[in-house]
Amino acid sequence: MNDAPAPSPEDAILALGQRLEKTTKAPGLHLAGETLTLDRCGGLWIEAHRTLIVSDLHLEKGSAYAARSGQFLPPYDTRETLACLHEAVVRFDPARVVALGDSFHDSRGPERMEPGDRAMVAALQEGRDWVWIAGNHDHAVTEGVGGRYAETLALGGLTLRHEPGVGAAAGEIAGHLHPCGKVAMRGRAVRRRCFVSDGHRLIMPAFGAYTGGLNVRNAAFEPLFPNGFTAHLLGDGRVFAIGRTMLARD
Amino acid sequence: MPDLPRPAAEGLPTRFAEWFATRGWEARAHQLDLLRLAGSGRSALLVAPTGAGKTLAGFLPSLVALAGNGPGKARGLHTLYVSPLKALAVDIARNLEAPIAEMGLDIRVETRTGDTPAHKRTRQIARPPDILLTTPEQLSLLIAHREAADLFGRLRCVVLDELHALVTSKRGDLLSLALARLHRLSPDLTALGLSATVREPDELRRYLVPQARPAEAEAHETPEPDSPGTRRREGTRRGGTRRAEAVIPAPAPDPGPPMAELVVVRGGAAADLRMLDTGLRLPLAGHTAWQSMPAIYDLIRQHRTVLVFVNTRLQAEYTFQELWRLNDDVLPIALHHGSLDATQRRRVEAAMAAGQLRAIVCTATLDLGIDWGDVDLVINIGAPKGASRIMQRIGRANHRMDEPSKAYLVPGNRFEMLECQAALDAVEAAAQDTPDARLGAPDVLAQHVLGMACADAFDPLRLYEEIVSAAPYAGLTWEAFEQVVDYVATGGYALRAYERFAKILRGPDGLWRVRDARVAQQYRMNVGTIIEATKVKVRLARALRGRPGSVLPKTGRVLGEIEEDFAETLTVGDTFLFAGEVLRFEGLAEDEAMVTKAGPGTDPAIPSYAGAKFPLSTFLAARVRALIADPFEWDRLPRQVSDYLLQQRSRSILPGPRDLLVETFPRGGRFYLTAFPFEGRLAHQTLGMLLTRRLERARLRPLGFAANDYGIAIWTGRDVGERIGFEPGFLAELFAQDMLGDDLEAWLDESAMMKRTFRQCAVIAGLIERRYPGQKKTGRQVTISTDLIYDVLRKHQPDHLLLRAARQDAATGLLDVKRLGMMLQRIQGRIIHKALDRVSPLSVSVMLEIGRERVYGEGADEILAEAEALLLEEALS
């Protein structure tokens, strides 16, 4: 066909939600004087620092379930997550990659990782500064998986940490909450992972293949965004900026 | 009556003959036949219409045998009765009490259901009753019990009630596996199946008895049971045997698979079945039958008790409301469907049993169940969809088989008039369209294999032989079985990541054992194949004045439950029809949907919540096609339908019974293609998706499609009719069978239906844990969405057992791919294209589906009526 590919039905709903909200924001976002690119894969690209940030990879979540509760989820979540990360790394060719905490689902995660997946991590790290930020699931456990380890990281005016702090200074980028936004419209509901920002701080979506989400209308987000926020939902074709009034509760 | 009693002497002990006599009864021929067969240890299938004394026939052999046994404390379990409905088991236990007490028999009858208290369950294992009545799920739990071998070792008889309803589902697969285990634990077991009339009784006859081992297993030399060494080489040796088989000459003529005996009771008086024709003009689409409501109300007034069957819960709500709007006499009319609160349903059932109701508006929830002798009329609103279903429903009236059941079919539109006529013909000819026998589902087998490991250590070869003795699994290969065992042990992944967490382990003795008590506990929590959609309670709340949108939570009563998927699409202020009222959604509080009553006169804004819609049966579809094709038959149709067909014939063409009519015409700047396969909405939706893909590749710019039970309409940006005109093979290629190949695969993988199907397989096979009603959501990270699992698995191991199980379900279930395939084959070389300059009468019906799926209510009907009028005017001008 000559025409551009039709957007997915989900994207159509998201676009409708965005239009009704009249939020016409550029795909870029400004935070503490830095320009951020919100990528539809769930990663954050900061061109000025050539840095790619991903949050809550929860690697080895499948095997954690098998070990703990005898639920045998397909053991391919780690390679799937790494494949998505690889795709983003190829696209942006970052000088630095920051994994914003909870990179492994639990502290024994690195031990359970398959050799092939371990090699994949090493290949991704090749020639780059790789920073594992400490999370609550994987505090201080990045032995044997390369890269360096940090509690927090400063990047220009930005502060990168895992858990968002109430009343934190402007420019904080955090993860931890796995935000999801839902748009319900015309008898259909679309629920997607999202970035959340009020122009002062940003919360990243979870990147892992098996990571679920917490609805941004949940009370957990209220103290972090006392003056409201915009959610940037990951559509099939692009990112959709949607204001709070258009977002439904679960 | 063909069913004349024989001299009482034949096999019936005096005590029983006397008891029959005191009740003024005589034992019926089929009851004595079953007694004779079961007495000589032969399994049998009893096919009889409702009211024939089926249940008593099923129990008579056991009662006679037990009465002759004399008192004995430690007799053990003699007879097991399995019913698809818990309520039916309880009801029958009650009905058995009378003959047992009146004949002074020393027989203990008990039920075992989900409601049976724990202490009683324990006691039932230690000191079982003579007769135990239960459900398929409870039976699965029992055979997975450590004491199962002792419990069932002396079982003489198993009675499977409503077998026709069980065998068409995964529940039937599970029951067949349990039955195979019972046959093994008690080799002399007699199985008695009780069934309504079915198309292929032989399928049920095979189901009841152990099937012969497949030729492959016969040819293979069974290794000594106690030499672990041989077992390791099992796979290779089998492979060798099979290859060798290719040169072995064909064996002696196959005597056919083993079957139980068959006892058939012919139907009693013919049903008095009619189509309700009010003389009013019916629309070309829509299913509400609103024109007929006054006539239905009059029928209720003229009868004692009426069952009003409808096809969806939405329609039940609508009909109930309409009838009450007309109910000047304040007749007790009640509502019954699967979403209503269970206590409310029980209240309605009790009121019905007590003869306090004049009518119940109900869905398939009352298709089966407890006898209500007082029903003197059945009304079925909307299309019948299947001949057997309609006969089952008619049978709900007048549960005495010597009197005719009285029933009306009420069409909602002109096409449904055709369908009603086809159903009347089918009932007259006593033709059945029950579904084909099932291929046993792999997810159900996985659940069963884990259960068998919980019962006792198992030898894989012996278990395999047992499983292939169950009719649905008779074709299971050894390799497929090994894959299931591998799945149960470690998830069945090519990446062997979970070996050290295995749920079942193979010991040095070659036997598989369950890892620990926790795994057994997980099995017990997960047993069964019925996956309820996750539901949320609907509770009346009080709105806070002055604070719009705020309610006092948990203040009012629970009205019932709605599917979580539906609740998720609601936003505060939405109104919808539920439990007979228009409700306003006020928000979710914890796991409950808070609602208030909407003001009087409010139209429900949100159309529907999910509820089963049956597709038109293949059989009835063929009859409808034949009816349309033969003008000599039209005088039996209401005038408005024959007029309509005449108009179609003069405007376009009426297709022959095996043809596919394709019409193309321009309209409003777009181009339309309509086709009429008559294969049901599900198959048509799948067809629509696939045709759209092909039209896109042909650069005809498809913009959308709509489907109903009879046909589809696709609209495009470019002239598809013109293309068909100048490219002769184009249409045949468009409908070529190979669309079921790659296109289907690609579409299926992304389809929401497929994800839902996968979820069900994953729950049944124990990959993810069941969520129970009322169980609270445990927050983020604890439950993993099956959609995420599906996406990952599809990418990394597309041939995984659960994906194969989901595809097998899709073939016959939600997507009806199998039926679509049969249709594509049927129409090869029989596609008739008619290029028109405007819409034809036949096409109007499917055009009216456009945008209709989510429109409902009076306002919407008006709009549709207007649209229809405009379209028809256009077609006939």
In terms of CA atoms, which chain A residue is nearest residue B587?
A: A249
Cα–Cα distance, A102 to A161 (Å, whole number): 11
CB contact under 8 A, B699 and A211: no
Question: Does residue B310 have a pLDDT over 80?
Answer: yes
Cβ contacts of A75 on chain B, cutoff 8 Å: 491, 493, 495, 497-498
Per-residue DSSP letter, B464: H
What was the pLDDT predicted at B463?
A: 97
Count Cβ–Cβ pairs < 8 Å, chain A vs chain B.
104
Cα–Cα distance, B22 to B6 (Å, whole number): 17
B402 confidence band (pLDDT: 50, 70, 90)? low
Name the E strands within B427-521. Answer: 504-506, 512-514
Helix axes B801-812, B786-796, angle to 10 degrees: 110
CA dist list (Å): B335 to B315, B362, B379: 11, 6, 14
The reported pTM is 0.78
Residues of A with CB under 8 A from a CB of B: 1-3, 61-63, 65-67, 70-77, 79-80, 112, 114, 178, 182, 184, 186-189, 191, 209-214, 248-250
CA dist list (Å): B486 to B449, B483, B509, B512: 10, 5, 18, 11
For residue B61, give the amino acid letter: P
Domains B14-208 and B272-428 in one fold: yes
Cβ atoms within 10 Å of A44's Cβ, excluding its own:
25
Q: Are strands A239-243 and B79-82 parallel, antiparallel or unpaired?
A: unpaired
Element (H, E) at A182: strand A179-185
CB contact under 8 A, A184 and B854: no
For residue B233, give the amino acid letter: R
Cβ atoms within 10 Å of B298's Cβ, excluding its own:
11
Topology of the domain covering B272-428:
Rossmann fold (3.40.50)
Per-residue DSSP letter, B340: B
* A180 touches A232 (CB < 8 A): no
CB contact under 8 A, B781 and A211: yes
Cβ contacts of A67 on chain B, cutoff 8 Å: 501
Cβ contacts of B497 on chain A, cutoff 8 Å: 62-63, 66, 75, 112, 114
Cβ contacts of B491 on chain A, cutoff 8 Å: 66, 72-75
Question: Does residue B29 have a pLDDT over 80?
Answer: yes
Q: Are strands B670-675 and B712-716 parallel, antiparallel or unpaired?
A: antiparallel
What was the pLDDT predicted at B856?
A: 26
Q: What ipTM does the predicted assembly reach? A: 0.88
Helix locations, B327-456, DSSP H: 342-353, 387-394, 414-428, 442-455
Secondary structure tally for chain A: helices H, strands E: 5, 16
By the 10 Å C-beta count (0-12 exposed, 13-18 middle, 19+ buried), B151 is classed as: buried
> Does the CB of B769 have a partner CB in chain A at under 8 Å?
yes
Element (H, E) at B98: helix B86-102
Question: Does residue B706 have a pLDDT over 60?
Answer: yes
Higher pLDDT, A67 or B543: A67
Torsion angle of the four alpha carbons B44, B48, B53, B56, in this order, in degrees rounded to the nearest 10: 20
Topology of the domain covering B14-208:
Rossmann fold (3.40.50)
Question: Does residue B11 have a pLDDT over 70?
Answer: yes
When computed from its CA atoms, the radius of gyration of chain A, rounded to whole angstroms, is 18
Domain ranges for chain A:
9-246
What was the pLDDT predicted at B768?
A: 85
CB contact under 8 A, A75 and B498: yes
Mean pLDDT for chain B? 80
Nearest CA distance, A27 vs chain B (angstrom): 26
Name, in order, each residue with C-beta under 8 angstroms of B406's C-beta and a sequence gap of 6 or more: B271, B272, B273, B376, B377, B378, B397, B398
Nearest CA distance, B698 vs chain A (angstrom): 8
Q: Which of B781, B787, B796 to mutate to test the interface with A (most CBs of A within 10 A)?
A: B781
> Does the CB of B518 have a partner CB in chain A at under 8 Å?
yes
Cα–Cα distance, B442 to B480 (Å, whole number): 9
CB contact under 8 A, B789 and A74: yes
CB-nearest to B606 from A73, A187, A214 is: A187
Cα–Cα distance, B501 to B515 (Å, whole number): 9
Cα–Cα distance, B399 to B52 (Å, whole number): 9
In terms of CA atoms, which chain B residue is nearest residue A72?
A: B491
Three-state DSSP at B18 gives: helix
CB-nearest to B495 from A61, A114, A184 is: A114
Q: Which of B568, B699, B751 to mutate to test the interface with A (most CBs of A within 10 A)?
A: B568
The residues facing B583 across adjacent strands are: B576, B597
Walk across the sheet containing A28-31 and list its strands: A28-31, A34-38, A44-46, A51-54, A96-99, A129-133, A148-150
Question: Does residue B853 have a pLDDT over 70?
Answer: no
Name, in order, each residue with C-beta under 8 angstroms of B479's C-beta and a sequence gap of 6 or more: none
Cα–Cα distance, A178 to A56 (Å, whole number): 8
CB contact under 8 A, B491 and A182: no
- How much of chain B exceeds pLDDT 90, in percent? 36
Residue whose pair of structure tokens reads 């996968």 in the numeric block: B758
Count, residues in chain A: 250
pLDDT digits (tens, 9 = 90+) for B507-541: 999 999 999 998 999 899 888 887 766 667 888 88
What was the pLDDT predicted at A219?
A: 87
CA dist list (Å): B575 to B132, B522, B857: 47, 40, 11
Question: Does residue B5 have a pLDDT over 60?
Answer: no
CB contact under 8 A, B490 and A72: yes
Nearest CA distance, A248 vs chain B (angstrom): 7
CB-nearest to B796 from A80, A178, A182 is: A80
Nearest CA distance, B788 vs chain A (angstrom): 6
Instruction: Find the mean pLDDT for residues A226-242.
Output: 86
What was the pLDDT predicted at B876?
A: 62
Higher pLDDT, B544 or A51: A51
Higher pLDDT, A9 or B84: B84
Instruction: Find the mean pLDDT for residues A106-128.
Output: 92
Per-residue DSSP letter, A206: B
Cα–Cα distance, B359 to B104 (Å, whole number): 39
What was the pLDDT predicted at B557?
A: 78
Element (H, E) at A111: helix A109-112
CB contact under 8 A, A209 and B788: yes
Closest CA to B196 of B174, B171, B165: B165
By the 10 Å C-beta count (0-12 exposed, 13-18 middle, 19+ buried), B533 is classed as: middle
CB contact under 8 A, A212 and B785: yes
What was the pLDDT predicted at B817?
A: 78
Instruction: Find the mean pLDDT for residues B671-681.
Output: 89
What was the pLDDT predicted at B858?
A: 27
- Which structure tokens are listed for B135? 């459900």
What was the pLDDT predicted at B699?
A: 87
> Does the CB of B503 have a partner CB in chain A at under 8 Å?
yes
Instruction: Find the mean pLDDT for residues B413-431.
Output: 83
CB contact under 8 A, A184 and B571: yes
Question: Does residue B2 have a pLDDT over 70?
Answer: no
* B97 touches B109 (CB < 8 A): yes
Question: Does residue B352 have a pLDDT over 60?
Answer: yes
Cα–Cα distance, B320 to B610 (Å, whole number): 18
B429 confidence band (pLDDT: 50, 70, 90)? confident
- Which structure tokens are listed for B607? 């159309």
Residue whose pair of structure tokens reads 């090493």 in the numeric block: A122
What was the pLDDT predicted at A4?
A: 45
> Does the CB of B73 have a partner CB in chain A at under 8 Å?
no
Cα–Cα distance, B584 to B596 (Å, whole number): 5
Question: Does residue B635 have a pLDDT over 80?
Answer: yes
Could you tell me how far CA B234 lies from the centroid of its own chain?
Answer: 39
- Which structure tokens are listed for B785? 């969405």
CB contact under 8 A, A187 and B788: no
Name, in order, each residue with C-beta under 8 angstroms of B99's C-beta and a sequence gap of 6 or more: B19, B56, B63, B105
CB contact under 8 A, A76 and B568: no
**3-state SS record for B194-238:** EECCCCCHHHHHHHHCCCCCCHHHHHCCCCCCCCHHHHHCHHHHH
> Does the CB of B22 have a partner CB in chain A at under 8 Å?
no
In terms of CA atoms, which chain A residue is nearest residue B572?
A: A248
Instruction: Find the mean pLDDT for residues B107-113.
Output: 93
> Does the CB of B783 have a partner CB in chain A at under 8 Å?
yes
Cα–Cα distance, B732 to B730 (Å, whole number): 6
Name the E strands within B470-548. Answer: 504-506, 512-514, 535-540, 542-543
Cβ contacts of A211 on chain B, cutoff 8 Å: 781
pLDDT digits (tens, 9 = 90+) for A20-37: 654 444 456 889 899 999
Helix locations, B118-227, DSSP H: 118-126, 136-143, 148-152, 163-166, 170-185, 201-208, 215-219
pLDDT digits (tens, 9 = 90+) for A136-157: 777 665 567 899 999 999 999 9
Cα–Cα distance, B273 to B415 (Å, whole number): 19
CB contact under 8 A, B503 and A70: yes
Question: Does residue B34 have a pLDDT over 90?
Answer: yes
- Which structure tokens are listed for B39? 């007495």
CB contact under 8 A, B568 and A67: no
B160 confidence band (pLDDT: 50, 70, 90)? very high
What was the pLDDT predicted at B604?
A: 58
Cα–Cα distance, B578 to B559 (Å, whole number): 8
Closest CA to A244 of A225, A232, A230: A230
By the 10 Å C-beta count (0-12 exposed, 13-18 middle, 19+ buried), B9 is classed as: exposed
Three-state DSSP at B670 gives: strand
Cα–Cα distance, B872 to B877 (Å, whole number): 8
* A147 touches A125 (CB < 8 A): yes
Domain ranges for chain B:
14-208, 272-428, 535-597, 652-751+815-876
Helix locations, B23-53, DSSP H: 29-39
Question: Does residue B212 have a pLDDT over 90?
Answer: no
CB contact under 8 A, B699 and A250: no
Cβ contacts of A214 on chain B, cutoff 8 Å: 779-780
pLDDT digits (tens, 9 = 90+) for B730-789: 999 999 988 877 777 777 776 666 787 898 899 999 998 776 544 444 433 345 788 889
What was the pLDDT predicted at B773?
A: 44
pLDDT digits (tens, 9 = 90+) for B229-283: 333 333 333 333 333 333 344 455 556 789 999 998 876 666 788 888 888 888 7
* B436 touches B388 (CB < 8 A): no
What was the pLDDT predicted at B313?
A: 77
pLDDT digits (tens, 9 = 90+) for B184-202: 999 999 999 998 877 788 9
Higher pLDDT, B70 or B112: B112
Cα–Cα distance, B124 to B36 (Å, whole number): 30
- How much of chain B exceeds pLDDT 70, in percent? 79
What was the pLDDT predicted at B502?
A: 94
What was the pLDDT predicted at B603?
A: 59
pLDDT digits (tens, 9 = 90+) for A77-95: 999 999 999 999 999 999 9
Cβ contacts of B795 on chain A, cutoff 8 Å: 76, 80
Cα–Cα distance, B393 to B379 (Å, whole number): 9
By the 10 Å C-beta count (0-12 exposed, 13-18 middle, 19+ buried), B18 is classed as: middle
Cβ contacts of B767 on chain A, cutoff 8 Å: 71-73
When computed from its CA atoms, the radius of gyration of chain B, rounded to whole angstroms, is 29
- Which structure tokens are listed for B386? 């299947």
What was the pLDDT predicted at B755?
A: 80
First to last CA, chain A: 38
Instruction: Find the mean pLDDT for residues B451-480.
Output: 96
CB-nearest to B796 from A76, A112, A186 is: A76
B680 confidence band (pLDDT: 50, 70, 90)? confident
CB contact under 8 A, B497 and A189: no
Question: Does residue B602 have a pLDDT over 80?
Answer: no
Higher pLDDT, B822 or B476: B476
Cβ contacts of B796 on chain A, cutoff 8 Å: 74, 76, 79-80
